Structure 1
Amino acid sequence: MSISHKALKTEITSDLNISTNIYQVLFERTATAMLISDENNRIFLVNRELENLTGYTQAELEEKIGLQDFLDKEDLERINYYYKQRRKGDDIPNSYEVKIIDKLGIERTALLQINLISGGKRSIISLVDITERKKLEERMIYLGYHDDLTGLYNRYYYEEMIIKLDRKDKFPLSIIIADSNCLKMVNDTFGHEEGDRVIQIIADILQDNTREGDVVARWGGDEFGILLPNTSFKSANKIVERIRLSCREWNKGLITPSIALGVATKTDSNQCLKKIINIAENRMYNDKLKNKRSIDNSLILSLERSLLSRNHEIRRHISRVRVLALKFGKVLKLSLEEQKRLSLLARLHDIGKLGLPERVVKLGNTLAVEELKELKRHCEIGYRAVKNFQELLPIANSILFHHERWDGRGYPQGLQGKEIPLLARIISIIDFYEMMTRDYQKGLSQQEALEELKKERGKCFDPELVDEFINSDIF
């Protein structure tokens, strides 16, 4: 550059009619990035804050590059256009947002303030980095219309779109109402973190099976709404079937997602959209009610599969306990209904272990005191899980109390004697015997295990049931 930095500074301070000291305060010592440029976008003076903002040195900025090297092309064109209009005396905005690309290629957003220097062709420009503020603003705007957990639209946006899409050129307008069949059970068994994951899975399934232009929203805890403009009732039902198929084929976690769905369609302006939505909602509830038994069976099987796949020990333990339970139930001359319940209890008595960490389940009684407390929670977790299913209610208390002791020193409630449900007393004996005789853990012989069982007669276990068990020929 032909003119020296010192001479240029003197010239500019003279043009601005300010002293060198005031110039230093206003320009060099300010916390705002500043520069002086001409009508050709050449840079003449910069301060240290501009170096910090752009990543370029003062020498690079004043000798090698111009505004075009770090300003977005569209923003530069706007600056040039405004410059010409400002020179004509037009009332032009002198403050607006621009994009800056720094030396490392990182994009930032800045608030630009520009003013002509009186009597010349140069402009003084200040730039304030507002990148973080813009991110926060964009985040707030996003959250205004989106559900934070799933990334789907939220109820506010959904209700806005209902109004916008309720017009003739969008008919037929179909509505799908969806509701999770399994969230409460998942929350009760695995905790709310896993429940959140189920909601995210359902959201992904709904999103994957709808089209661009469809509106998928989460409008409640486990409730979703889908708006399908220009979609017939028949086409909407095809989307519903795709959603159901995706749920059935999903095999990436503990529980197979299950969704109740209802569809309704508005075909002309005379129909009330609110009533159409109510029809879709009622059909969803009918779907839930009509299929409750098959839904429950599917979820129970899903729970059982998850438990059996946890590790080989659990699978072998449950298998042996079930065989012994079937035989011992007959020895005790239980009714057919009680035998069925005992068999079900044998399959599901440890279902609560699904809600515990793998390490706690695997190490069992060798755990430290705190971890052993954690293991004992499986009775209550299992109880909460099965309470969600009508079919399993008869064995819920037996799951809760199958680690109670005859002498009242068991858990979780310290019941004693015949306060403990019969099936829980039976399964606790079988459970103990199976653990004592595990051939895959170098267990005791049958006779040794029965001797150990006899020692616990009247302590851990119902003495009459112990006698029946020892004297039976079920082994």
Structure 2
Amino acid sequence: MDTYTFQDIFDIDFLQKLLDSLSVTLQVGISIRGPHGERYTKDSDYCSFCRDIVKKSPVGNARCELSDRALSAHCESSPYVCHCQSAGLTDASVSIMVEGEHLASMLVGQVRLAEDIPGEEEYRVNAHVLQLDEEMFLEHVHAIPVITKEQFSHILDTLSLLANQLSQLAYSNLQLKNAIRSLESQKLLHQQEKDALETLAEKDSMTGLYNRRKYEEEAERYSRQKGRHICLVSADANFLKLTNDIFGHKSGDLLLSNIANIMQSLAKNDWLVARCGGDEFRVIMPDTTLETALDYCRRVARNCSTDKTLSLPLSVALGAADWNSENETLQDCFSRADAKMYQNKAALKHELHVPDYILERLYDRQVLNRKVVEHTARMTLEFALFLGFAQENAIETSLASHFQDIGMAKLPESFSIRGQSRTQEETLQMKAHVLHGYTMARQFEELYKVADIILHSHENWDGSGYPNNIAGTHIPIESRIIHITGDYAYWTLPTITGGNYSREAVVQNMKERSGSYYDPELIEKFLEFLPGFNARVEV
């Protein structure tokens, strides 16, 4: 009921005609108002007394409005009768109820009862209060027909019957409206479900692009349009498996979504961009030249290369071909685009050095310091050669030192925030970075051989390190070297997290930790090596 207005339930124009007719027939003024006095119909006046005399007076008009509002508020089962507050006439109110709720009131007025006619002096007082001419007031009030209480009771009975019928009609209309609303809601829900199913049938739920089914339907339709200039693009996301293996499927999904958003945002409205499964995307470009298709491929590749939101490069290999409908099928055209895509993919594999990209992201986040990393790698190479390592072995050790902290890429972004002490859980996460680094190194051909060195690069000579708490010579010598060179570089070079200690203080500290953190023999050799290295670096 709260959701519907009186005007929603009734035909107001019809009610107005009905009330106008009843007013003339019964010779009473009639109108319908809401519980708070709001007008639902105009006043149906059978005579001009109230309209042309009383309401022409500001005082009379205000009193009539107060009287009508008071009558409108009554919601009794039987008619309510009272004197009007303006001219001493008789008013009444008949309630229209729906399911116990007061919907409206039928107001009745302009009545002179034979048993309750004021004297002439009282009429003059009323005229004076209303600031009206007394003679004019008397002339018009005496023109109102006089009826008995019995006659007025019959009129109210008639109007009560009408109000009861209106109440029943309102109830029926409400039921119908509720039924219609329910049907409309069901229809809307059905349409929404239908739209959702249709969307699921043709859209990829992860990326929002069209799916393989929609692509194949459209490709079949276009394949019958011989002579139309159509280009096809084949695209394949790079590093999806690597992303899933290293950073998890959530990161892999984000990689696909980012590529999809770029491909869709750069496509024209009449192009169809689809994800056809896994890391595979396709684009149908009707009425498009090969030059335009190639430009699209270049812009997609460029926008992906500038996206630095992921820990691995956002990269997609693309190939385009234009359809020669006279000599090949549309599928043949796609096969040519696909072949070009794989050529591009092979070239990208050699161009993109993923481990370096990961380190760059760690530098950007200020998790690692580029100068410390590069200085450690150089020192490690020269120290390994000083110890008599073969050139190849020394280079491998230096490579391991360069990427020993690559596993930091799996730490939360919050670890880039400095000046805050870590919780115990965060410390455990941080120590796990060497395990992540080991796993990541095994994914890359260029780092596969040094994965074990990375795994043990944070072990201590006395077994108090991590992740496996191994000790002594069980720690690979390459890892023991990296532990020494990495700590020396970190403590002596200035960084936002510390360092910048004097060489003398660092050397003293390392001597004190010889036999606990560091291999004692290697520390002795390192202290022999250090002056010459520092001299070469300063030169």
Normalised by the length of structure 2, the TM-score is: 0.60
Match of 1:138 among 195, 202, 215: 195
Match of 1:280 among 323, 337, 354: 337
Find the aligned partners of 2:218 and 2:293 in 1 and give their Cα distance: 18
What amino acid is aligned across from residue 254 of structure 2 in structure 1? R
Q: Say if 1:43 and 1:303 are closer, same or farther in 2 by CA, change over 3 A.
A: farther
Deviations 1:274-329 (CA, angstroms, capped at 9, x unpaired): 3443443333233222432112x2x3332222111122863343244234324323
| Matched residue SS, 1:261 | strand
Match of 1:241 among 268, 291, 298: 298
Deviations 1:304-363 (CA, angstroms, capped at 9, x unpaired): 221111228633432442343243233224333334334433332212212212444656
Whether 1:216 aligns to 2:273 is yes
Find the aligned partners of 1:282 and 1:58 in 2 and give their Cα distance: 78
Tell me by how many angstroms 1:267 deviates: 1.6
Find the aligned partners of 2:16 and 2:307 in 1 and give their Cα distance: 60
| Matched residue SS, 1:390 | coil
Deviations 1:145-195 (CA, angstroms, capped at 9, x unpaired): 222222211222122212122122573432212111122333344443333
- In the alignment, what sits opposite 2:258? 201
Tell me by how many angstroms 1:465 deviates: 2.3
Tell me by how many angstroms 1:217 deviates: 1.0
| Matched residue SS, 1:242 | helix
| Matched residue SS, 2:447 | helix
Gaps of 5+ in 1: 1-27, 45-56, 65-116, 118-122
Q: Say if 1:146 and 1:402 are closer, same or farther in 2 by CA, change over 3 A.
A: same
Q: How does 1:225-240 map to 2 (within 5 A)?
A: 225-240=282-297
CA contact (8 A) 1:171 1:267 kept: no
Find the aligned partners of 2:356 and 2:414 in 1 and give their Cα distance: 24
Tell me by how many angstroms 1:371 deviates: 1.4
- In the alignment, what sits opposite 1:398? 453
Q: Say if 1:444 and 1:207 are closer, same or farther in 2 by CA, change over 3 A.
A: same
Q: How does 1:53-452 map to 2 (within 5 A)?
A: 63=40, 124-125=176-177, 126-128=180-182, 129-130=185-186, 134-169=191-226, 171-251=228-308, 254-268=311-325, 271-295=328-352, 297=353, 299-311=354-366, 314-360=369-415, 367-439=422-494, 441=498, 444-452=501-509
Tell me by how many angstroms 1:258 deviates: 1.1
CA contact (8 A) 1:174 1:227 kept: yes
Tell me by how many angstroms 1:132 deviates: 5.6
Tell me by how many angstroms 1:429 deviates: 1.4
CA contact (8 A) 1:404 1:412 kept: yes
CA contact (8 A) 1:36 1:124 kept: no
Q: Say if 1:448 and 1:227 are closer, same or farther in 2 by CA, change over 3 A.
A: same
Find the aligned partners of 1:202 and 1:37 in 2 and give their Cα distance: 58
CA contact (8 A) 1:205 1:243 kept: yes
Normalised by the length of structure 1, the TM-score is: 0.67
Q: Say if 1:442 and 1:260 are closer, same or farther in 2 by CA, change over 3 A.
A: closer
Tell me by how many angstroms 1:61 deviates: 12
Deviations 1:364-420 (CA, angstroms, capped at 9, x unpaired): 995332211111221122233333332222333322321233444433344444444
Gaps of 5+ in 2: 18-33, 42-168, 170-174, 535-539
Q: Say if 1:386 and 1:63 are closer, same or farther in 2 by CA, change over 3 A.
A: farther
Tell me by how many angstroms 1:39 deviates: 11
Q: Which moved more, 1:422-431 or 1:253-262?
A: 253-262
Find the aligned partners of 1:360 and 1:443 in 2 and give their Cα distance: 21
Q: Say if 1:438 and 1:234 are closer, same or farther in 2 by CA, change over 3 A.
A: closer
CA contact (8 A) 1:180 1:260 kept: yes
Q: Say if 1:161 and 1:421 are closer, same or farther in 2 by CA, change over 3 A.
A: farther
Aligned residues: 378
Find the aligned partners of 2:405 and 2:503 in 1 and give their Cα distance: 23
CA contact (8 A) 1:188 1:381 kept: no
Find the aligned partners of 2:281 and 2:375 in 1 and give their Cα distance: 43
Tell me by how many angstroms 1:202 deviates: 0.9
Find the aligned partners of 1:408 and 1:459 in 2 and give their Cα distance: 8
What amino acid is aligned across from residue 253 of structure 2 in structure 1? D
Find the aligned partners of 1:243 and 1:416 in 2 and give their Cα distance: 51
CA contact (8 A) 2:223 2:329 kept: no
Q: Which moved more, 1:165-174 or 1:359-368?
A: 359-368
Deviations 1:201-258 (CA, angstroms, capped at 9, x unpaired): 2112212332221111112222211112233444432322222232334455544421
| Matched residue SS, 1:307 | helix
Find the aligned partners of 1:366 and 1:408 in 2 and give their Cα distance: 25
